[in-house]
Amino acid sequence: MSIHGKKIIYGALILLALALFGWFSWNAYIDHLTAKETARVNLLIERAQPGPLTSRLNHDQLLTDITWLAHEERSGRAPGTEGGLAARAYIQERFKQLGLEPGGEDGYLHRFEIPKTTDAANVIARVEGSQPSLRTIVITAHYDHLGEHEGRIYPGADDNASGTAALLAIAAYLKENQPRHTVLLAALDAEEGGLRGARALFSTNFLEPKNIAFNLNLDMLSRDTDNLLFAVGTYHDPWLVPLVRRAQMYSAVKLIPAYDRPRHVAGDTPDWTTASDHGPFHEQGIPFIYLGVPDHPDYHQPSDTADKVDVDFYRASAEAALNVFVMVDRVLAEKE
């Protein structure tokens, strides 16, 4: 072999060694970040001090709503199906019963198109704020789920009949307790499979990002995993951290500001920045908090049924969601 050929081989071996070293070093660095972030989150969980349970919401109606939405007769509430349309009609009727102003383009409905579905629509009510000059806060919860597959119903009690029922409970509270900001209460369709209902709010120009002050998204609130809810979004808007801490003082569940950091900061710990309907709001530069429990064995399974709802925890988590909203409404009114 010529000297030139040997140099080529040696050079290639050196490059390979450097690449392997870099790969192992990067993975070691990611492992370090993961361990560091996991320790941070565990410390937050350990130090969180839940307050007493408040009772401003109608807990009986909360349980009635989640049970109805997750009933097997709704067949999993897939968009455009009989069960999905029944859930939509139910939410409209509940808004109407509460005397809420329609907030859609067709009464309470904001219709949009998705492939292979003839009838998709968000259901939206509006509560006028006491300070009309303030921008709008949007509270979201998706009412759809996975429907039926191979003859099995996916009821979606926690995901996300729980968030939808909490949205209705908060709507009832706001009807009787006027917020500072005008609020849109948006039960969104077609979250499963692409956040399409939330994306349609912007792609159809139904919402103008400049007019939206905040998004509070509720998705999976009813299953007790160590009495905690993750409050996602504070990494992107650090002014929310003290707000969550203040809400914690009045909340009987632990509110953990975490699971929103990118990989180069938090390694392989979960990053839920775009995991649910708050994602399109974040993409538009709108601050958000997403409240939800960690994944559990019944997540996206036929076993996510209403009889597995942890009733005491669910009551407390719905109240915690209201506490977060009240703090956001107050703090933003002072900031704007």
Residue extents of the structural domains in the chain: 48-335
Topology annotation, domain 48-335? Aminopeptidase (3.40.630)
Say what the pTM is: 0.92
Compute CA distances 134 → 86, 329, 331, whole Å: 35, 10, 12
Write phi, then psi, for 135 (nearest 5 degrees): -75, 175
Cβ-based neighbours of 108, under 8 Å, separated by 6 or more: 91, 92, 95, 96, 102, 123, 124, 125
Interatomic CA distance for residues 103 and 200, integer angstroms = 15
Interatomic CA distance for residues 51 and 279, integer angstroms = 30
Nearest to 216 by CA among 198, 192, 200, 238: 198
State the average pLDDT over residues 30-44: 95
Whether the per-residue pLDDT at 5 is higher than 60: the answer is: no
The encoded tokens of residue 94 equal 């509940």
Q: What is the pLDDT of residue 336?
A: 77
- For the stretch 83-142, pLDDT in tens is 999 999 999 999 999 999 999 999 999 999 988 777 899 999 999 999 999 999 999 999
Considering the chain, what percentage of its residues have pLDDT values greater than 70? 93
State the average pLDDT over residues 280-296: 98
Whether the per-residue pLDDT at 157 is higher than 50: the answer is: yes
Whether the per-residue pLDDT at 200 is higher than 60: the answer is: yes
